Amino acid sequence: MSTLSMFMAENVLQEENIKHVASKRFINPKTKKPIEWEIKCIDSQRDEELRKACTKRLEVTGKKGQYTKEMDWDKYTGMLSVECTVFPNLHDAELQNSYKVMGADALLKKMLKPGEYASYLEKIQEINGFNQSFDEKVEEAKN
């Protein structure tokens, strides 16, 4: 097996979706336990697409013809959380109607309390590898 063959798509370990209790307020009526949400990891290409969708080009004040980019981080984290949420289906019209909102991002923000939403965003960032230091990644790779 050549060294490069280890990097072929079919040889990469596939990430499994993560189960996470986003809120203890959503209870399964049969088991009386909190319902686990399902979260997936996205690839860097999709992340770049989300970042570009959340970036505006603004003209620099006093400098005609010069522009700078500004990232809307709230929009980005909202889009990222929607993209990574497998269950519940945030795009479901019936679910959105029950909360009287339109759009998956608006639904997620309506469903969760501010602290729950912040914790959920933290979990999303964690599974996408945003909260690991370089040293932690090296240790993980060694194991």
CB 123 within 8 A of CB 115: no
Residues in a beta bridge with 20: 37
Asked whether residue 65 is assigned to any structural domain, the reply reads no
The answer to whether residue 76 is domain-embedded is yes
In this prediction, residue 12 carries a pLDDT of 80
Domain count, the chain: 1
Grade residue 139 by pLDDT with cuts at 50, 70 and 90: low
Task: Report CA torsion sign: 51, 55, 60, 66.
Answer: positive
Instruction: List the CATH number of the domain containing 83.
Output: 3.30.2220.30
pLDDT tens-digit series, residues 9-29: 888 888 899 999 999 999 999
Domain limits for position 121: 19-42+72-128
Percent of the residues in the chain that have a pLDDT greater than 70, as a whole number = 90
> Is 105's pLDDT higher than 80?
yes
List pLDDT tens digits, range 48-86: 999 999 999 888 888 888 888 888 999 999 999 999 999
Report pLDDT for 132: 60
Give the number of other Cβ atoms within 10 Å of residue 100's Cβ: 9
Cα-atom radius of gyration of the chain, to the nearest Å? 19
Classify residue 96: in a domain, yes or no.
yes
Residues 94 and 107: their CA atoms lie apart, in Å, by: 11
pTM equals 0.78
E-strand ranges in the chain read 18-20, 37-39, 55-59, 67-71, 85-87
Residue 57's pLDDT is 86
Q: What is the pLDDT of residue 73?
A: 93
Residue 1 included in any domain: no
